[in-house]
Amino acid sequence: MKQSSIMHDLKPERADLTPPLPRVMMVVPCLFYLSAIATVGLGSLFTIKTRQAQAEEQKEMEGEQDKRSQIAGLKTEQAVIDQTHAKAKEVVAWMDSTQPMMDVVTAVVGSIKTGNTLSSLRLNRTAENPQHMEMRVEINNGGNPQQTEIVQALIKAGFQTFKDDLLSSDKNDRFGPMTYTATVVKNSTSEQ
């Protein structure tokens, strides 16, 4: 019985045609089959790793989209908070500026001396500058001394005047009728 050779794929067993191959050549078919199996294994491994990488990339892209939507939501919330804060600042400024005008009225009326008459007292406040009160006082008699008394009474009440103007129909009569206009502001040092 003849022994079967692993080399039958490479060379026929007929010795008369060619001499037999050396025994080392038996490794060639083994290496071929091993390389074929390794190629299939590596191909499948690369395919699996490629799919995993694509899945991770997709997951990262979805995560990035989630983060972008969260950032957009936070920016929207921040804009709402900023708008609310701006409105709150306006309210605080308005509250600070809406000091009672009664203090000014009381100071002016209380400063009128006996014998002098107050014919008109007007206080106006503008929306552009609500801390400033435009005051117009018309006195039938009393003139310059009465105006000085009014200014002193406002200072004692914690107010400051500026843009003062004294109008009189007769420039020579210091005690005659007059119109006093001024801008009145709460003195910041009196609040402390």
pTM (two decimals): 0.45
Give the dihedral sign, CA 28/33/36/40: negative
Residue 20 confidence (pLDDT): 64
Burial class for 38, CB neighbours closer than 10 Å (0-12, 13-18, 19+): exposed
One DSSP character per residue, 135-173 reads EEEEESS-HHHHHHHHHHHHHHTTEEEEEEEEEES-TT-
Cα 178 to Cα 139: distance, rounded to the nearest angstrom: 6
Residue at token pair 């499948």: 44
Question: Angle at the Cα of 159 (from 158 to 165), degrees rounded to 5?
Answer: 150
Give the pLDDT confidence score for residue 21 in this predicted structure: 66
Specify the pLDDT at position 71. Answer: 96
Contact of 109 with 119, CB cutoff 8 Å: no
Which backbone phi and psi does 105 adopt, to 5 degrees? Answer: -60, -45
**Beta-carbon neighbour count of residue 176 at 10 Å?**
16
pLDDT of residue 1: 43
According to DSSP, residue 159 is labeled E
Domain boundaries, the chain: 1-97, 102-191
Structure-block tokens of residue 39: 């190629």
Mean pLDDT in each 10-residue stretch from start to end of the chain (192 residues)?
A: 51 64 78 93 96 96 95 96 93 70 82 82 79 84 80 86 72 71 77 48
Contact between 123 and 153 (Cβ < 8 Å): no
Residue pair 158/139 in contact (Cβ under 8 Å)? The answer is no
> What was the pLDDT predicted at 171?
61
CB 166 within 8 A of CB 178: yes
CB atoms within 10 A of CB 149: 17
The pLDDT assigned to 47 comes to 96
| CATH class held by domain 102-191 | alpha beta
